[in-house]
Amino acid sequence: MTSDLPIYLDHHSTTPVDPRVYQVMKPWLTSRFGNAASISHVYGEIAREAIEAARRQVAELVNCQPDEVIFTSGATEANNLALKGVLKAAPSGSHLIVNRGEHKAVLDPAESLVRDGYAATIIEIDSNGQVDPNKIRDAITSKTKLVSVMYASNEVGTINPIAEIAEICHERNIYFHSDATQAVGLLPVDLQKQTIDLLSISAHKNYGPQGIGALIVRRDRGRIPLTPLIDGGGHERHLRSGTLPVAMIVGFGEACRIASEEKESDSLRLSTLRDHLWTGLSSSLDGLHRNGHPTECLPNNLNISVAGVDGDALMASLTKIAVSSGSACTSSDPAPSHVLRAMGISESLTKASLRFGLGRSTTEAQIDFSIEHVTDVVQTLRKL
């Protein structure tokens, strides 16, 4: 990497692999190349042991049992497995509840299920981007099998009232899934205390490699009937067939180990930097709107809308920082963010929104520089 690249402030989109993660992955890409399913010899056995060690590290981060961890290619696949897996194992016509604030990796599988004859209710979010548990309660029908509510928003950082929603689901004997992709490395996700039946996570949002993640399938309320998306050799308790990518899983495990140890200190440092960013920007510019929940927010997220500037011009002029407008994960779709629109934010403010995602390598000097750069750009654009 050259130092003239923009400052990276888009950690909701992806995070760099931590050098400690890279170190532990290296041998699994070269000399230790065994297939973990071929255990008739030592190559396979070694690979299998490494995978089981990584599984324990992932489980430890969210406090579940190792055999509840089902490795997938990432959170998109984990969400698909949760939604389609539960619904397709249930009678046709069964019902699912999602909400407008979800990532497309939940909304699109829900739509696909509707095309396949299942029913879905999409509940609205409030102006802070949060799901109201009462709306979930009201949407439940006798056919509801699954409720899916993300732990924290990838766009505005809003943390949902997960405990309350989980309780409503359990009272009604409905499975509860949460996409915790943005939350796990920063918030105290604890599945012994939180009654979440299915939890999606992804390594690359948490300083691990891209292309690996997991669906946690709890067993404490009995076996959850799940139809696999991929059939084959019966890997991952028959829920996700396919040769396991050992290097990536080992890296995912190490990333989880580091997060278990460092998430509290990371969160504290990041929220201080984030607050500094907001204070700096809002004291040097007027017409800024902060999007998201004022207190229930991820420590590394700042989402703002800038009044009086054109969104495209703003993004084109911010050449010294790498930030996102809306969700980079759906950047193949240039439409304004569906989440900001669902929060009731006008189209022009939605288009002129910036999402800052701070991360482990973000420094105070970078934040100071970013405040100056954004201020200069906005002041220049407003004079045109």
Residues with a known catalytic role: 329
> Does 145 engage in binding with ligand PLP (CB under 6 A)?
no
Per this entry, what is the length of the chain? Answer: 384
Which SS3 state, helix, strand or coil, does residue 241 take? coil
Q: What is the dihedral of CA 199, 200, 206, 208, to 10 degrees?
A: 120
Which SS3 state, helix, strand or coil, does residue 324 take? strand
For residue 109, the one-letter residue type is: P
Contact mark string toward ligand PLP, 197..236, x via CB under 6 A: -----x----------x-----------------------
CB of 28 to ligand PLP, least distance (A): 20
- Residue 91 makes CB contacts below 8 A (sequence gap 6+) with none
Tokens of 322: 């790498």
CA atoms of 251 and 242, how far apart (whole Å)? 18
252: burial class by Cβ within 10 Å (0-12, 13-18, 19+)?
A: buried
Residue with Cβ nearer ligand PLP (215 or 304): 215
Task: Answer for the pair 262, 185: CB distance below 8 angstroms, yes or no.
Answer: no
> Does 326 engage in binding with ligand PLP (CB under 6 A)?
no
Residue with Cβ nearer ligand PLP (154 or 350): 154
The stretch near ligand PLP (CB under 6 A) out of 129-137, 163-171, 176-184, 292-300 is 176-184
Which SS3 state, helix, strand or coil, does residue 60 take? helix
Name which position in 329, 339, 349, 354 contacts ligand PLP (CB under 6 A): 329
Residue with Cβ nearer ligand PLP (96 or 281): 96
Which residue, chain included where needed, has tokens 């931590």?
A: 18
> Does 263 engage in binding with ligand PLP (CB under 6 A)?
no
Name which position in 8, 34, 58, 74 contacts ligand PLP (CB under 6 A): 74
> Does 181 engage in binding with ligand PLP (CB under 6 A)?
yes
Residue nearest ligand PLP by beta-carbon distance: 74
The footprint of ligand PLP (CB under 6 A) covers 74-76, 103, 105, 150, 154, 179, 181-182, 202, 213, 329
